[in-house]
Amino acid sequence: MKLWSKENTQTSQAIEKFTVGRDNEFDLLLAAHDVTGTIAHVSMLQETGLMEKEEAALALQGLKAILDEIRNGSFVIEEGVEDIHSQVELLLTRRIGDAGKKIHSGRSRNDQVAVDIKLFLRAELLTLRDEVKKIFDLLIEQSEKNKDKLIPGYTHLQIAMPSSAGLWLGAYAESLVDDMELLAAACAIANKNPLGSGAGYGSSFPLNRTATTQALGFDTLNFNSAYAQMSRGKTEKIASMALSALAATLSKLAMDCCLYLSQNFGFISFPSTLTTGSSIMPHKKNPDVFELIRARCNRIQAIPNELTLLLNNLPSGYHRDLQLTKEILFPAFQTLKDCLDMTGLMISNLTVKDHILEDEKYRYLFSVEAVNQLVNEGIPFREAYKKVGEDIEKGIFAFDLSTGLKHTHEGSIGNLCNDRITGEMERVLKKFSAVKTNLIPE
């Protein structure tokens, strides 16, 4: 069944298979959103007199029954049915008769799938918001727990200056604040209603687009009907950028954990149940989870570029190329949620070793501390730098760690400012406050 088919028109099976592609697979992810959008549309048709009250009531009852089937997992897209929109209309018409044929008045599949995708992206971004907040809280908790455990800091992968596990973990917490800014921005762009824009040029029906905007919990409209269609693809690309930023944070954290777990670093450990072994080397405890987080998140970081290549040379208006955005972007949401879940499991079981910096190989880590100590005694910085450098070259450099490290400025190892970072996260979370879920009850 096709919404656009005509009695005397037959489409080649090869053409049909190629053009439908993997749509049915990803349309199931849109099913509840498609029905929700249709419920809002039918309610608007009835309110504006474009559908009889009795017919609209019958259609709404049938649509809510289909929505229940989607939610309980019994809904399927039948063989030979082109997409989710066709399946819903087919089911409804079977069950309530000709009234089911009226639900498409004032709509195109273009604005129908556009609103489905906006609802899907909004829901997925809100879910990611909640999952990211859990990891943020965990990182802050572990940062505070390990704030007094010193570890080496590196530049160019060379020993640089003293750091701490608290500073390291807190850095990733603050990185998530910036990632959350992008999630909030993507959510705000997804939270605009394209329904009623039709094929991209509006309708001669007196549609009430404000009514569907309110019914679906959107913050506002994509007002211009041509731009409502142009936002298709652009919205997905912006969402992918937010996912990419978050994936970059998780990938970098995973890489650090792979390094710090290795014997050559040996700063952290995890329970044996969270590592894997070797088929030949009995001593191995491999960080496979972090390696796969790194790999999967690196793939996610490629998605904005893939969408750019798909969309870049398209003129205004609808083009079938846009169908492919679903298979490029949609799986990334579940992949990222899985990576967040695994990151949470690993970091919650992280142990940081004690007395790491007492190892002789970290002696020169305190060269800057020694320079600063001389400066505090009145020696000009450049002379102090030269003296410490000469001591290092002569092999006579020493620093008494028992005197303690005096780092007090904001964001240093002695003043992590985790409370301030938490305040920044709370500030960003308020940007989601205008986002409502749709008003169709569970």
Which amino acids are annotated catalytic? 156, 278
Longest dimension (CA), the chain: 95
Report angle CA 371, 372, 373 to the nearest 5 degrees.
Answer: 90
Supply φ then ψ for residue 192, to 5 degrees.
-125, 135
Long-range Cβ pairs for the range 15-24 (8 Å, 24+): 16/82, 19/320, 20/82, 20/83, 21/323, 21/324, 21/327, 22/326, 22/327, 23/82, 23/83, 23/323, 23/326, 24/77, 24/81, 24/83, 24/84
Sequential DSSP letters for 292-350: HHHHHHHHHTTHHHHHHHHHTT--SS--GGGGGHHHHHHHHHHHHHHHHHHHHHHHHT-
CB neighbours of residue 280 within 10 Å: 6
How far apart are the C-alpha atoms of 114 and 56, rounded to whole Å? 23
Stated as kind and residue range, the H or E segment containing 138 is helix 109-145
* Cβ burial 225-259 (10 Å sphere, 16+ → b, else e): bebbbbbbbebbbbbbbbbbbbbbbbbebbbbbbb
CB 122 within 8 A of CB 187: yes
The count of C-alpha atoms lying within 13 angstroms of the C-alpha of 427, restricted to the half-sphere facing its C-beta, is: 10
Q: Which of 358, 360, 363, 414 is nearest to 388 (CA)?
A: 363
The count of C-alpha atoms lying within 13 angstroms of the C-alpha of 418, restricted to the half-sphere facing its C-beta, is: 23
Instruction: Decide the pairing of beta strands 192-193 and 220-221.
Output: parallel
CB 297 within 8 A of CB 250: yes
How far apart are the C-alpha atoms of 340 and 179, rounded to whole Å? 13
Contacts of 32 (CB under 8 A, 6+ apart): 67, 70, 71
CB 353 within 8 A of CB 268: yes
